Amino acid sequence: MVKCVFILAAMLLAFTAPASAETQTLKVLNQWLAAVNSGDSGKMTEFWQKYGRASAAERAAHDLRLGSMTGGLTLDKVIKDDGAHLEVLLKEGRGTYSELTVDLESTNPPMIRGIFGHPVAGPPAGMASAAANDQELAALVQSHASDPAAKDSFSGAILIAHKGKLVLDQAWGMADSEKGNKNTVDTQFCLGSMNKMFTAVAVLQLVQQGKLSLDGHISDYWPNYPNHDLAMRVTIRQLLSHTAGTGDIFTPEYEAHRLETRTLADYVKLFGDRPFAFQPGSRMEYSNYGFILLGRLIEIVSRESYEDYIQKHIFALAGMTHTDSRPESDHVPGRAIGYTKGPGGLQPNTAGLPWSGTSAGGGYSTVGDLLLFANALESGKLIDPALLRQATTDQTHGRYGFGFYVFAGGVYGHGGGSRGMNAEMHILPQQATVIVVLANRDPDMATETERFIERVLPSS
């Protein structure tokens, strides 16, 4: 799957804190920032070793990759800081905003419990005013996407639906510059980590059928998992909420075997003997490998391949005919090429892609198919409404449920991002609104656009 992760899962990006009396949390954060800004894997690994992380090398690679994908952040406001828990508002290099939290398990010596971030709408001052109605909303978004003064011209597709009617369904930019193919509303864009929503819904379907239990352990369904201790202690609930301590997949070991790692079982061969990153349930840390394990559990319990199960029980039920995770080597008519910034300008991201999408991310879809998915979720066609409410309720104090990010006002959804791709889908039940933004360019093109749309939504 495409290296997604996951900007929405962890906005752990570089910024400079203002000069002031530092609390323990700010001291730790500033040391982390210095390591990220250095771009030095040795310094990044040394930081995590200092703060007691078992997965220091793995986390170092993750953080440096995140740092390389941003223009940097600056501290806009300290929301809360008691020396062990820090909450700040950050302004991103593109002018958008994120909230970041840092939690310490102990302060003497300092030990990190977690660092977690998520995008937010910025302060209202200087921002565009809300639209008066849907027609004005469409015009504002079209102007925003077409702004000739923008740092990067928008390349992708945007869909906004309100009360079951399309407000905007439009595309910009090129799907394949070499062939001269333009993006359309039917172009299939890489979703990155948005695949996690499909995996979570599949797991909850099996929970609903009594074939899985949220509090069941991996070993209950997979007795021969390589790390038996981990399998005995990690629950389905913890995997769904990123609190299992199962770690990432984008590691040096993976990079050495990227094109050989094709199936979910292949990922387990690489990482199945790996120890915990932390005690299960003690904190949240975004884990792509946790969703690989969920995909394997779906295969074991359903006796179908992950791809077949998702196609039959999610995509077909929702009417999604342009969504899949076929290998990158397959020719898929209408699939956009991702373009990332390189030394000589924009270049295809194809050389660094994994074999195919998986249960953790990397599939592709259209804005229209994702609207169908949102409608199927909200109508109860895919899972029971009570299970959906549980999945879209914060389970972690990190604004994450079961495979969905959870935001204020009942808003939920997911995003994905890596080089040459960025995607967002937010469902706003109280406003009867669905927003989908897919881009074949670097983060935060889709993320910034989705946040702009939420800021200018009409009040009713």
Strand, coil or helix: what is 385?
Answer: helix
Q: Report the Cα 155 to chain-centroid distance in Å.
A: 19
The Cα 284–Cα 242 span in angstroms is 5
For the chain, what is the mean pLDDT?
Answer: 87
Using the predicted structure, report yes or no on whether residue 284 has a pLDDT greater than 80. Answer: yes
Q: Is the pLDDT of residue 228 over 80?
A: yes
Give the three-state DSSP class for 439: strand
φ, ψ dihedrals at 12, nearest 5°: -95, 75
Q: What percent of the chain has pLDDT over 90?
A: 59
Q: If you average pLDDT over residues 185-206, what whole number do you get? A: 97
* Least confident residue range of 148-152, 287-291, 450-454: 148-152
List of E strands, 312-432: 339-342, 345-348, 363-365, 405-406, 412-418, 421-428
Model pLDDT, residue 335: 94
pLDDT per position as a tens digit, 7-39: 333 333 333 334 346 888 888 888 878 888 888
Residue-level pLDDT at 101: 77
Average pLDDT, integer, range 260-282: 93
- Output DSSP code: residue 314: I
Confidence of residue 345 (pLDDT cuts 50, 70, 90): confident
**Residue whose entry in the numeric block shows the structure tokens 């310490």:** 104
Q: What CATH homologous superfamily does 130-460 map to? A: DD-peptidase/beta-lactamase superfamily (3.40.710.10)
pLDDT tens for 398-454 read 789 999 999 989 999 999 999 999 999 999 999 999 999 999 999 889 999 999 999
**Residue written as token pair 């879809």:** 365
pLDDT of residue 204 exceeding 60: yes
CA geometry: angle 393, 293, 447, nearest 5 deg: 50
User: Residue 309, SS3?
Assistant: helix
Cα-based distances in Å from 407 to 53, 120, 168, 288: 29, 9, 23, 21
What ranges in 162-194 are assigned the alpha helix state H? none
- Least Cα distance to 366 among 310, 323, 418, 311 occurs for 323
Q: Report the pLDDT averaged over residues 281-296.
A: 95
Helix, strand, coil shares, percent, the chain, to 5: 35, 25, 40
pLDDT at 125 over 90: no
**pLDDT score of 108 more than 60:** yes
Domain boundaries, the chain: 15-120, 130-460
Q: What's the rounded Cα separation, in Å, for the pair 98 and 100?
A: 6
pTM of the model: 0.80
Residue 371 scores a pLDDT above 70: yes
Q: Any idea which architecture 15-120 has in CATH?
A: Roll (3.10)
- Residue 15: predicted pLDDT: 37
pLDDT band per the 50, 70, 90 thresholds, residue 221: very high
Average pLDDT of the segment spanning 335-364: 90
Cα within 13 Å of Cα(271), Cβ side: 31
| pLDDT confidence bin for 236, thresholds 50/70/90 | very high
> For the chain, what percent of residues have pLDDT higher than 70?
87
Q: What is the pLDDT of residue 55?
A: 64
130-460 has the same fold as 15-120: no
Q: Tokens standing for 167? A: 């407000």
pLDDT band at 6 (very low <50, low <70, confident <90, very high): very low
